[in-house]
Amino acid sequence: MDDNPSTRATRFREANPGSNVELAYAGVSTFLKAPYRRVDEVETEDVGVMGIPYDGAVSNRPGARYGPSAIREASGWWAYLYGYKGGLTNMQTEKQVDFGALSIADCGDVPVFPMDRERTAESIEAHVATLSERAFPVLLGGDHYCTYPSFCGFAEGTAATTVGLVQIDAHTDTVEESAVFGEHFHGSSTSLIANSKYSDYEHVSQVAIRGYEAPSFFEFAEEVGLNLYTMRDIEQSGIASVIEDAIAAAAAEADVVYVTFDIDGVDPSVAPGTGTPVPGGLSAREALTAVEVIGASDAVGAFDVMEVAPTYDPTEGTQRLAANLLVTLLERKFAERVSESN
């Protein structure tokens, strides 16, 4: 009999250090292969990630319910960064980062009720409120309606009186009521937020808007004080400048800013896996630059990425971009060193 109290598996791992490296396609798919925690068990982590696998409020193509799992799986490619405790150089930002300084918990998915929007919204709000008391919330959607209860839950959990919203999106989502979809669908989320007790249109900034809105939309935006930045504004001023202005406008006299990134803000040639694609959107480089700026802002207290519908992208590029955006955001906010490589 072997007198060694350790198991054969333990002895193998001790003898083969490579056993502790989990390949991108192996293991359990949590975000960045972070440990799983129940949302009410998060205590010391910087970041809590939760999925919202709900797309019962879409007006076009469904499929965003599969977004959270696809983004988690795609994030496995970057999980190896977690193991480089000595730091790495980001060749895009030219900055030194140490992912060993970043602590993440994956809290699994919010319970959803596919045939019951009201109960689903209540569930989202409750779970996001609980997470926001404990860590920086990162939310994986799900259709864009999910941002409304997430926003309210974040405000509740942080005890914020006024919360600004920065929305990166092809659409404004300011429909108050649709004859077909009612008052609560993914085209009404910003209207619901602006008319909630936590915000108003003067604290809403919208970036990358394009396509078509009501004939009097610009008049509406001016009347309510909406901070509007269309794709033409980005072409003229550059994405970094626009995002800086958008955050500043949303943060003015607000306690904190919530950022929502609808993946259809990106051009569908880059991110086709979404329910309502609109040509002429952000490039991948512009999207990454946007989250670099967002991650550097002390005003930002929460982030979500919505409307990733992976079944429409056989290349899997959409969820890969979404994961890269989140890695870039968290790197800039929590893992970037003070010293730079240049």
Question: CA 38, CA 58: separation in Å to the nearest integer?
Answer: 28
Mean pLDDT computed over 67-91: 85
Mean pLDDT computed over 37-51: 95
Kindly state whether residue 132 falls inside one of the protein's structural domains: yes
Q: Which domain holds residue 198?
A: 44-66+105-333
pLDDT of 78 above 90: no
Kindly state whether residue 238 falls inside one of the protein's structural domains: yes
Nearest Cα neighbor of 45 from 111, 154, 125, 133 is: 133
pLDDT of 68 above 90: yes
Kindly state whether residue 79 falls inside one of the protein's structural domains: no
**pLDDT at residue 72 in the model:** 96
Q: Which residue has the tokens 């914020």?
A: 160
Kindly state whether residue 80 falls inside one of the protein's structural domains: no
Record the tokens describing residue 129, joined without a space: 């409120």
184 appears as a binding residue in the annotation: no
- Greater confidence (185 vs 71) lies with 71
Contacts 24+ apart (CB under 8 A), 188-197: 188/145, 188/148, 189/144, 189/145, 189/146, 189/147, 189/148, 190/165, 192/148, 193/147, 193/148, 193/151, 193/152, 193/165, 194/165, 194/224, 194/226, 196/148, 196/151, 196/152
pLDDT of 144 above 50: yes
pLDDT of 276 above 60: yes
CB 42 within 8 A of CB 111: no
pLDDT of 79 above 70: yes
144 appears as a binding residue in the annotation: yes
Question: CA 304, CA 259: separation in Å to the nearest integer?
Answer: 6
Mean pLDDT computed over 171-188: 78
**pLDDT at residue 194 in the model:** 96
**pLDDT at residue 140 in the model:** 97
**pLDDT at residue 340 in the model:** 43
**pLDDT at residue 19 in the model:** 67
Exposed/middle/buried for residue 193 (C-beta within 10 Å: 0-12, 13-18, 19+): buried
Kindly state whether residue 159 falls inside one of the protein's structural domains: yes
55 appears as a binding residue in the annotation: no
The overall average pLDDT reported for the chain is 91
**pLDDT at residue 337 in the model:** 67
Mean pLDDT computed over 265-269: 98
Record the tokens describing residue 130, joined without a space: 């609980």
Residue 161 belongs to domain with CATH number:
3.40.800.10
pLDDT digits (tens, 9 = 90+) for 218-233: 999 999 999 999 999 9
**pLDDT at residue 342 in the model:** 41
Mean pLDDT computed over 253-277: 97
Kindly state whether residue 15 falls inside one of the protein's structural domains: no
109 appears as a binding residue in the annotation: no
pLDDT of 292 above 70: yes
pLDDT of 197 above 90: yes
**pLDDT at residue 4 in the model:** 56
Mean pLDDT computed over 180-192: 81
Domains identified in the chain, total number: 1
Please report, rounded to a whole number, the percentage of residues in the chain having pLDDT higher than 90. 72
Confidence of residue 85 (pLDDT cuts 50, 70, 90): low
**pLDDT at residue 55 in the model:** 94
Kindly state whether residue 36 falls inside one of the protein's structural domains: no
3-state secondary structure string, 125-168? HHHHHHHHCCCEEEEEECCHHHHHHHHHHHHHHHCCCCEEEEEE
Mean pLDDT computed over 306-318: 97
**pLDDT at residue 172 in the model:** 95
Kindly state whether residue 172 falls inside one of the protein's structural domains: yes
**pLDDT at residue 97 in the model:** 87
